[in-house]
Amino acid sequence: MKTTVIGAYPKISDEHQELRRALHRLDRGEIDQAGLASVYRATTAWAIREMEEIGVDVVNDGHIAWDDLLAPFAAGWRSCERGPLERFYDNNTYFRQPVITGALEGDGHALVAPFLEAKSIAKHTLKAAVCGPLTFATLTAADRGYGSLEARTLAVAELIAREVWGLKEHGATLVDVEEPALAAHPELVGLARRAYERLAEAGVDLAIYPYFFAADPILEELATFPVAQVGLDLRSRPTRALERLSVLKDKTVVLGIVDARNTAIETPRELADVIEKAIGQVSYDRLWFSPTTGLEYLPHDVAVRKLSALVSAARATKGVPA
Amino acid sequence: MNDVLPTTTVGSFGKPEYLQKARNAASRGKASARELEDLERQATAEWIRRQEEVGLDILVDGEMYRGDMVAYFAERLDGFRIGGLVRSYGNRYYHKPVIAAKVARPKPMTVDWFRFAQDLTDRPVKGMLTGPYTMLDWSYNEAYRTRRDAALALAEVIRQEAEDLERAGARYIQIDEPAVHARPEEIEIAIEAMGVVTQNLRARTISHICYGDFAAIYPKVLELPVDQLDLAMSNYEYRWLALFDAHPFTKELAIGVVDVHSHRLETVDEAAEGIRRGLRYVLPEKLLPHPDCGLKTRTVEESLDKCRVVVEAARKVRAEVARRAVA
């Protein structure tokens, strides 16, 4: 039974605003890209240390250098541009929609350097992350390279598979695939499975996270995906998934039990109730706990309290003193 | 005021540098509230004058006194507390409010600013409010059991403010709902809450909607009880207009014809073409050209340039409409 995080960590706090200032200074021409990169490194180190000090077992790099979930890929691949601004699902957070101008190309190294940087900092197990192919394909604003959503999704999957290969070659053993589009569009589950078969060819453990929406309509299908872990958002919308965890058979189930999009801190009793229900259906060694989504939707101080509540609840379950 | 293709804007304008500096100083305790307010009034007066000079028909106060469209109200309503910084995009952050207890309005929040701006011009100035659904969706809710409960409680305090604006002389009241499509399954809540706000108003009512999946709430959104929907269109290359082929648009349409998140200045011809597209679906008397959204992320000069393009484009298409009428 482990604790982990998903996606982006808050990039600044009330006290720690170096990155915000550095980006302003870059805009004013007071620092160059190398100067900004050093601030990204320092901020990533700050985020990883915080997660580790709170006691999160498996951490990520906090996506500190990611402008949004799609940005490293839209910016890093050839024949792709970052296009119009759009709201990211039901959040008051915005992203640049990709614009595909031709056949996509990428060398699988979009994430390697930041991953190695984070690896040199992390003392706990570090996992990597990529954007889900269905999410990237469905959020694309314009596509002049492929004739259909199906063709675009599978092409994006090929490139993301290359990124997963690249991460594996540099030591990644677990890669999160953030895939809100799958829960938003359960009717596309068949297409998504084909895309994940390509991702799985890299031979590294994948964890799929269809967050923001209830995964109830796709729960059985998720059990057939070639992934090692399935993450479930139990707070964003009403869901009965917690009562049906046994359908996930041999998957490790990562339960999003603290709401990363609301400031109310879950009580120990609330968390214990959820964990108890899960333990009845999934063995200890296949049960992890996480926030529902990335913590960047919360102010930093609340994100810290949420993670602390998560870690405390997991430790209490294991009988470890807080 | 032009009866055909009357021009307007969505609400906010770029703040002049002297005001930005004053706001920063005030946040550090180095300028008094009185000093800041004096400069906010100065900037508001400048923007009223600029809008008149540019030739806009229906004006706004420019929101020189607001930082964020939700936090401004949250800071003045009982029941809210202001949370820590959260990123919206890029390097932009805002203090996301928390609904921590039952909400109430201790006193009017925008009426003095409306009176101040309206007294400076003979042209109509819009009263500007944030809608209850957006207030809810862009806040954290710790106080209400359901999102509907929270939306209806917010609707009640916004109704009070809207009715005060009307009593103060507002002929146009805009109740913005940019989050209305955040959860399409909750559109009924947004409609019910807006009904609470507008139920007693005789003023022309408007709701601005932007940046989201408009298709997911169309045509249901036509049930939003306001006279005019104010939509970002340029940013979407006008694709939402195609929805009106299957389900005719039944309200006045304020149509966004310049992108507010781009430094690039559209040509008059580009904006005029946007207006012509809108005219395929809405009568010229019911079509109001404007920028896609508030211009607060642009500089004063960029804001002005974008407004000039809107006005010039409307003038051009207005002449075409007049020629057709004569023919």
Report cis status (omega within 30 of 0) of the bond before B219. Answer: yes
Interface pTM, i.e. ipTM = 0.93
- Cβ contact B140:B97 at 8 Å: yes
Q: How confident is the model at residue A4 (pLDDT cuts 50, 70, 90)?
A: very high
Q: What tens digit of pLDDT does each residue of A220-229 get?
A: 999 999 999 9
* Residues of B whose CB is below 8 A from A86: 211-212
Domains of chain A, CATH where assigned = 2-14+44-318 (3.20.20.210)
Of B270, B206, B264, B285, the C-alpha closest to B233 is B270
Question: Is position B49 within any domain?
Answer: yes
CATH number, domain containing residue B248: 3.20.20.210
Interface test with A, best of B24, B86, B236 (most A CBs within 10 A): B86
Using the predicted structure, report yes or no on whether residue A320 has a pLDDT greater than 70: no
User: How far is residue A21's CA from residue A19's CA, in Å, rounded to a whole number?
Assistant: 5
Closest-CA residue to B182 (of A261, A137, A204): A261
Minimum distance, in Å, between the CA of residue B154 and any CA atom of chain A: 18
What is the sign of the dihedral through the CA atoms of B68, B69, B70 and B71?
positive
Residues belonging to chain A with any Cβ–Cβ distance to chain B shorter than 8 Å: 10-14, 20, 23-24, 27, 67-68, 84-87, 89-95, 262-264, 296-302
How do the pLDDT tens digits run along chain B, 327 residues long?
899 999 999 999 999 999 999 999 998 899 999 999 999 999 999 999 999 999 999 999 999 999 889 999 999 999 999 989 999 999 999 999 999 999 999 999 999 999 999 999 999 999 999 999 999 999 999 999 999 999 999 999 999 999 999 999 999 999 999 999 999 999 999 999 999 999 999 999 999 998 888 999 999 999 999 999 999 999 888 999 999 999 999 999 999 999 998 889 999 999 999 999 999 999 999 999 999 999 998 989 999 999 999 999 999 999 999 998 887
Using one digit for the tens of pLDDT, what is the confidence trace for A175-207? 999 999 999 999 999 999 999 999 999 999 999
Residue B175 resides in a domain: yes
Checking if the pLDDT of A321 tops 80, the result is no
Judge whether B252 lies within some domain.
yes
> Measured between alpha carbons, how far is B102 from B153 in angstroms, rounded to an integer?
8
Cβ–Cβ gap B88/A94 under 8 Å:
yes
Q: Which two tokens stand for residue B53?
A: 């000079």
Let me know how many helices (H) and strands (E) chain B has, helices first.
10, 9
Best to test chain A binding among B87, B144, B258 (most A CBs inside 10 Å): B87
User: Is a pLDDT exceeding 60 seen at residue A141?
Assistant: yes
The answer to whether position B61 is within a domain reads yes
Inside any domain, residue B92: no
Give domain status of residue B80, yes or no. no
- Sign (positive/negative) of CA torsion B151, B152, B154, B155? positive
What does the pLDDT average to over A258-265? 97
Instruction: Count Cβ–Cβ pairs < 8 Å, chain A vs chain B.
Output: 75
pLDDT of amino acid A317: 86
Domain count, chain B: 1
Q: Collect all residues with Cβ–Cβ distance below 8 Å to B77 and sequence separation of at least 6.
A: B103, B104, B105, B106, B109, B157
Distance CA A195, CA A138 (A): 13
What was the pLDDT predicted at B65? Answer: 96
A253–chain B nearest CA distance, Å:
27
A195 contact partners, CB below 8 Å, separation of at least 6: A133, A134, A153, A154, A156, A157
Using the beta-carbon criterion (under 8 Å), do B96 and A92 form an inter-chain contact?
yes
Task: Indicate whether B186 belongs to any domain.
Answer: yes
Q: Residue B89 and residue A300: Cβ atoms within 8 Å?
A: no
Q: Do the Cβ atoms of A73 and A135 come closer than 8 Å? A: no
Rounded to whole angstroms, the Cα distance separating A274 from B33 reads 48
In a domain, B81, yes or no: no
Q: Which two tokens stand for residue B215?
A: 């298709």
The mean pLDDT value for A83-111 works out to 94
With a pLDDT cut of 70, the percent of chain A lying above it is 99
The parent domain of residue B279 ranges over 17-69+109-326
